[in-house]
Protein backbone atom coordinates (compact mmCIF):
# COMPACT_ATOMS: atom_id res chain seq x y z
CA UNK A 1 0.00 0.00 0.00
CA UNK A 2 1.39 3.38 -1.07
CA UNK A 3 1.99 6.13 1.44
CA UNK A 4 0.01 8.65 -0.62
CA UNK A 5 -3.51 7.84 -1.86
CA UNK A 6 -4.55 8.52 -5.43
CA UNK A 7 -7.62 7.38 -7.37
CA UNK A 8 -6.83 4.40 -9.56
CA UNK A 9 -8.31 6.00 -12.63
CA UNK A 10 -9.87 9.17 -14.00
CA UNK A 11 -11.19 10.00 -17.44
CA UNK A 12 -12.26 12.96 -19.48
CA UNK A 13 -13.05 14.04 -23.01
CA UNK A 14 -10.79 16.19 -25.15
CA UNK A 15 -11.05 19.83 -24.17
CA UNK A 16 -12.40 19.08 -20.72
CA UNK A 17 -10.64 19.52 -17.37
CA UNK A 18 -9.82 16.78 -14.89
CA UNK A 19 -8.38 16.78 -11.40
CA UNK A 20 -6.34 14.04 -9.75
CA UNK A 21 -6.14 14.04 -5.97
CA UNK A 22 -3.28 12.90 -3.76
CA UNK A 23 -3.99 12.46 -0.06
CA UNK A 24 -1.33 12.13 2.59
CA UNK A 25 -0.81 13.25 6.16
CA UNK A 26 0.54 16.18 8.10
CA UNK A 27 3.96 14.50 7.96
CA UNK A 28 4.15 14.79 4.20
CA UNK A 29 1.64 16.54 1.93
CA UNK A 30 0.07 18.63 4.67
CA UNK A 31 3.27 19.62 6.37
CA UNK A 32 5.45 20.77 3.50
CA UNK A 33 5.11 22.44 0.12
CA UNK A 34 7.22 19.74 -1.49
CA UNK A 35 4.61 17.89 -3.53
CA UNK A 36 5.58 16.88 -7.06
CA UNK A 37 3.69 15.25 -9.92
CA UNK A 38 5.01 12.95 -12.65
CA UNK A 39 3.55 11.86 -15.98
CA UNK A 40 4.46 8.42 -17.31
CA UNK A 41 3.56 7.10 -20.74
CA UNK A 42 3.70 3.31 -21.27
CA UNK A 43 7.25 2.04 -21.52
CA UNK A 44 8.72 5.46 -20.80
CA UNK A 45 10.43 7.09 -17.85
CA UNK A 46 8.41 9.40 -15.62
CA UNK A 47 8.51 13.10 -16.46
CA UNK A 48 8.33 15.84 -13.84
CA UNK A 49 5.25 18.00 -14.44
CA UNK A 50 4.88 19.93 -11.17
CA UNK A 51 7.18 20.54 -8.20
CA UNK A 52 6.77 22.42 -4.94
CA UNK A 53 2.99 22.00 -5.21
CA UNK A 54 2.41 24.35 -8.13
CA UNK A 55 5.63 25.11 -10.01
CA UNK A 56 6.00 23.95 -13.60
CA UNK A 57 9.41 23.03 -15.02
CA UNK A 58 10.35 24.73 -18.25
CA UNK A 59 8.57 23.16 -21.20
CA UNK A 60 5.53 21.86 -19.31
CA UNK A 61 2.33 23.34 -20.77
CA UNK A 62 0.39 25.72 -18.54
CA UNK A 63 -2.61 23.41 -18.97
CA UNK A 64 -1.05 21.53 -16.06
CA UNK A 65 -1.48 23.10 -12.64
CA UNK A 66 -1.06 21.99 -9.05
CA UNK A 67 -2.56 23.01 -5.73
CA UNK A 68 -2.87 21.85 -2.16
CA UNK A 69 -5.41 22.06 0.63
CA UNK A 70 -4.63 20.51 3.97
CA UNK A 71 -3.36 16.97 3.50
CA UNK A 72 -4.56 16.71 -0.11
CA UNK A 73 -2.73 17.88 -3.20
CA UNK A 74 -4.30 18.08 -6.63
CA UNK A 75 -3.17 18.05 -10.23
CA UNK A 76 -5.51 19.72 -12.71
CA UNK A 77 -5.22 19.30 -16.45
CA UNK A 78 -7.31 21.70 -18.46
CA UNK A 79 -8.06 21.48 -22.18
CA UNK A 80 -7.43 17.73 -22.19
CA UNK A 81 -5.55 16.40 -25.18
CA UNK A 82 -5.12 12.85 -26.41
CA UNK A 83 -1.41 12.97 -25.56
CA UNK A 84 -2.26 13.57 -21.91
CA UNK A 85 -3.39 9.95 -21.62
CA UNK A 86 -0.85 8.45 -19.23
CA UNK A 87 -0.23 7.39 -15.65
CA UNK A 88 0.27 10.18 -13.13
CA UNK A 89 2.10 9.85 -9.82
CA UNK A 90 2.28 12.26 -6.94
CA UNK A 91 5.19 12.37 -4.55
CA UNK A 92 6.07 14.27 -1.41
CA UNK A 93 8.90 14.89 0.96
CA UNK A 94 8.11 13.31 4.32
CA UNK A 95 9.50 14.04 7.75
CA UNK A 96 9.46 10.34 8.48
CA UNK A 97 12.63 8.36 7.93
CA UNK A 98 11.33 7.41 4.48
CA UNK A 99 12.14 10.93 3.14
CA UNK A 100 10.37 10.39 -0.21
CA UNK A 101 6.91 8.87 -0.69
CA UNK A 102 4.96 8.21 -3.88
CA UNK A 103 1.30 7.73 -4.56
CA UNK A 104 0.07 4.55 -6.17
CA UNK A 105 -0.57 6.25 -9.50
CA UNK A 106 -3.64 7.29 -11.46
CA UNK A 107 -4.41 6.16 -14.98
CA UNK A 108 -5.83 9.01 -17.04
CA UNK A 109 -7.95 7.98 -20.00
CA UNK A 110 -8.86 10.55 -22.64
CA UNK A 111 -12.18 9.38 -24.07
CA UNK B 1 21.50 19.04 -22.08
CA UNK B 2 21.91 16.79 -19.08
CA UNK B 3 21.31 13.10 -19.68
CA UNK B 4 21.39 10.05 -17.43
CA UNK B 5 21.97 6.49 -18.59
CA UNK B 6 21.64 3.33 -16.54
CA UNK B 7 23.81 0.30 -17.24
CA UNK B 8 24.24 -3.15 -15.75
CA UNK B 9 23.11 -6.78 -16.00
CA UNK B 10 19.52 -7.41 -16.95
CA UNK B 11 19.41 -10.76 -15.16
CA UNK B 12 20.50 -11.48 -11.59
CA UNK B 13 20.24 -14.75 -9.70
CA UNK B 14 18.35 -14.96 -6.40
CA UNK B 15 20.49 -14.22 -3.33
CA UNK B 16 23.09 -12.42 -5.43
CA UNK B 17 23.83 -8.69 -5.62
CA UNK B 18 22.26 -6.40 -8.19
CA UNK B 19 24.71 -3.77 -9.44
CA UNK B 20 23.82 -0.80 -11.64
CA UNK B 21 25.65 2.33 -12.71
CA UNK B 22 24.23 5.66 -13.83
CA UNK B 23 26.40 7.79 -16.10
CA UNK B 24 25.69 11.51 -16.15
CA UNK B 25 26.53 13.39 -19.35
CA UNK B 26 26.10 17.01 -20.39
CA UNK B 27 26.72 18.31 -16.89
CA UNK B 28 28.61 17.70 -13.67
CA UNK B 29 27.56 15.32 -10.95
CA UNK B 30 29.38 17.61 -8.53
CA UNK B 31 26.67 20.26 -8.53
CA UNK B 32 25.77 21.64 -5.12
CA UNK B 33 22.10 21.88 -6.08
CA UNK B 34 21.30 18.23 -6.55
CA UNK B 35 21.33 14.79 -5.10
CA UNK B 36 21.32 11.79 -7.44
CA UNK B 37 18.78 9.06 -6.89
CA UNK B 38 17.58 5.58 -7.72
CA UNK B 39 13.91 4.69 -8.14
CA UNK B 40 12.41 1.37 -9.18
CA UNK B 41 9.10 0.20 -10.63
CA UNK B 42 8.01 -3.45 -10.55
CA UNK B 43 6.12 -4.57 -13.64
CA UNK B 44 2.62 -3.09 -13.65
CA UNK B 45 3.16 -1.34 -10.32
CA UNK B 46 4.05 2.07 -8.95
CA UNK B 47 7.26 3.90 -8.18
CA UNK B 48 9.46 3.21 -5.17
CA UNK B 49 12.33 5.45 -4.11
CA UNK B 50 15.46 3.45 -3.23
CA UNK B 51 17.92 6.11 -2.17
CA UNK B 52 19.86 9.22 -3.13
CA UNK B 53 23.45 10.44 -2.88
CA UNK B 54 25.20 13.81 -2.89
CA UNK B 55 28.47 14.29 -4.73
CA UNK B 56 30.25 14.40 -1.37
CA UNK B 57 29.00 10.89 -0.63
CA UNK B 58 26.21 11.81 1.77
CA UNK B 59 23.31 9.40 1.36
CA UNK B 60 19.64 8.95 2.12
CA UNK B 61 18.11 5.46 1.90
CA UNK B 62 14.57 4.13 1.97
CA UNK B 63 14.35 2.42 5.37
CA UNK B 64 12.55 -0.55 3.84
CA UNK B 65 15.63 -1.33 1.71
CA UNK B 66 18.41 0.24 3.76
CA UNK B 67 19.85 -3.02 5.08
CA UNK B 68 20.47 -4.24 1.52
CA UNK B 69 21.32 -1.05 -0.37
CA UNK B 70 24.57 0.77 -1.01
CA UNK B 71 24.75 3.84 -3.24
CA UNK B 72 28.15 5.29 -4.13
CA UNK B 73 29.46 8.10 -6.32
CA UNK B 74 32.52 8.45 -8.54
CA UNK B 75 32.92 12.12 -9.40
CA UNK B 76 35.95 11.44 -11.62
CA UNK B 77 33.75 9.35 -13.91
CA UNK B 78 30.58 11.42 -13.41
CA UNK B 79 28.82 8.28 -12.29
CA UNK B 80 26.88 6.96 -9.33
CA UNK B 81 26.06 3.35 -8.58
CA UNK B 82 23.54 1.12 -6.85
CA UNK B 83 24.17 -2.20 -5.16
CA UNK B 84 21.24 -4.23 -3.81
CA UNK B 85 22.20 -7.42 -2.03
CA UNK B 86 20.36 -10.68 -1.37
CA UNK B 87 17.89 -10.10 -4.17
CA UNK B 88 14.67 -12.05 -4.60
CA UNK B 89 12.00 -12.12 -7.27
CA UNK B 90 10.36 -9.17 -5.51
CA UNK B 91 13.30 -7.03 -6.65
CA UNK B 92 12.42 -7.57 -10.30
CA UNK B 93 11.71 -4.10 -11.66
CA UNK B 94 12.67 -1.32 -13.99
CA UNK B 95 15.39 0.66 -12.23
CA UNK B 96 15.67 4.37 -12.94
CA UNK B 97 18.37 6.83 -12.01
CA UNK B 98 17.36 10.46 -11.69
CA UNK B 99 18.57 13.89 -10.65
CA UNK B 100 17.10 14.83 -7.26
CA UNK B 101 16.44 18.55 -6.81
CA UNK B 102 17.34 20.12 -3.47
CA UNK B 103 15.72 23.04 -1.73
CA UNK B 104 16.51 22.55 1.92
CA UNK B 105 15.91 18.82 1.46
CA UNK B 106 15.65 16.68 -1.69
CA UNK B 107 12.24 17.45 -3.16
CA UNK B 108 11.69 16.20 -6.72
CA UNK B 109 13.28 14.19 -9.52
CA UNK B 110 13.60 16.51 -12.50
CA UNK B 111 15.67 14.51 -14.98
CA UNK B 112 15.38 10.73 -15.40
CA UNK B 113 17.29 8.04 -17.19
CA UNK B 114 15.41 5.81 -19.60
CA UNK B 115 15.37 2.95 -17.10
CA UNK B 116 16.77 -0.56 -17.20
CA UNK B 117 14.82 -3.76 -16.59
CA UNK B 118 16.37 -6.12 -14.06
CA UNK B 119 14.95 -9.60 -13.65
CA UNK B 120 15.78 -11.78 -10.67
CA UNK B 121 15.63 -15.40 -11.72
CA UNK B 122 17.74 -18.52 -11.62
**Average pLDDT taken over every residue of chain B:** 96
Q: From the list A48, A101, A104, which residue is nearest B108 (CB)?
A: A48
A85 burial (CB, 10 Å; 0-12 / 13-18 / 19+) is middle
Question: Is the pLDDT assigned to residue A62 strictly greater than 90?
Answer: yes
Tell me what pLDDT residue B32 has.
87
Close Cβ partners of B71 (under 8 Å, ≥ 6 residues apart) = B38, B50, B51, B52, B53, B59, B61, B80, B81, B82, B83
Tell me what pLDDT residue A1 has.
64
Kindly determine whether residue B106 and residue A47, on different chains, have CB atoms separated by under 8 Å: no
Indicate the DSSP class of residue A57: P
Residues of A in Cβ contact (< 8 Å) with B46? 2, 89, 102-105
Residues of A in Cβ contact (< 8 Å) with B101? 51
Residue A45 Cα distances to A78, B7, B24, B40, angstroms: 23, 15, 16, 11
Tell me what pLDDT residue A97 has.
82
Question: Is the pLDDT assigned to residue A24 strictly greater than 80?
Answer: yes
Kindly determine whether residue B108 and residue A45, on different chains, have CB atoms separated by under 8 Å: no
- For residues B4-23, give the mean pLDDT: 98
- B117 touching chain A per CB within 8 A: no
pLDDT digit string (tens) for B23-37?
Answer: 999 999 998 899 999
Kindly determine whether residue B46 and residue A102, on different chains, have CB atoms separated by under 8 Å: yes
Question: Is the pLDDT assigned to residue B93 strictly greater than 80?
Answer: yes
Question: Is the pLDDT assigned to residue B66 strictly greater than 70?
Answer: yes
Q: Which of A32-36, A79-83, B3-7, B100-104 has the lowest mean pLDDT?
A: B100-104
Amino acid sequence: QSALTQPASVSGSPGQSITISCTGTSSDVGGYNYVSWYQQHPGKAPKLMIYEVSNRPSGVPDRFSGSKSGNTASLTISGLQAEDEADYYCSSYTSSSTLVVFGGGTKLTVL
Amino acid sequence: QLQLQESGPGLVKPSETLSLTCTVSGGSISSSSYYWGWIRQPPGKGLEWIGSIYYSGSTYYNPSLKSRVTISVDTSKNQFSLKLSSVTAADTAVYYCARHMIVVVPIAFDIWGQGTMVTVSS
